[in-house]
Amino acid sequence: MVQIDIDPDKCRGEGVCRAVCPKGGRIYKIVDLGGRRLAVVMDESSCMGCTLCVSRCPFDAIRIDFKKRSRLRDVDF
């Protein structure tokens, strides 16, 4: 599993991540925090690591840590 980090200072909650992600409905949720929209990660386990969300975010707000995935691969093999 990877780790997905959303920078709350950059995110404007437009939901591009949720729309472009093949598993967007499972992974991303757009929330309203006192009138401010923000994307939050609900379930990273569904992430396939395609990086579509990272490349399409208009605010460069998403980072994905693949090291977590590598550690799991080491254990699996």
Minimum CB–partner distance for residue 41 and ligand SF4 (Å)? 8
Q: Say which residues have a Cβ less than 8 Å from residue 11's Cβ, sequence separation at least 6.
A: 38, 39, 57, 59, 61
Nearest CB to ligand SF4, comparing residues 27 and 61: 27
Q: Which residues of 6-16 are buried (b: 16+ CB within 10 A; e: fewer)?
A: beeeebebeeb
Minimum CB–partner distance for residue 34 and ligand SF4 (Å)? 26
Minimum CB–partner distance for residue 74 and ligand SF4 (Å)? 21
Q: Which two tokens stand for residue 18?
A: 């949720």
List contacts with ligand SF4 (CB under 6 A).
Answer: 4, 20-23, 27, 47-53, 64
Nearest CB to ligand SF4, comparing residues 35 and 70: 70
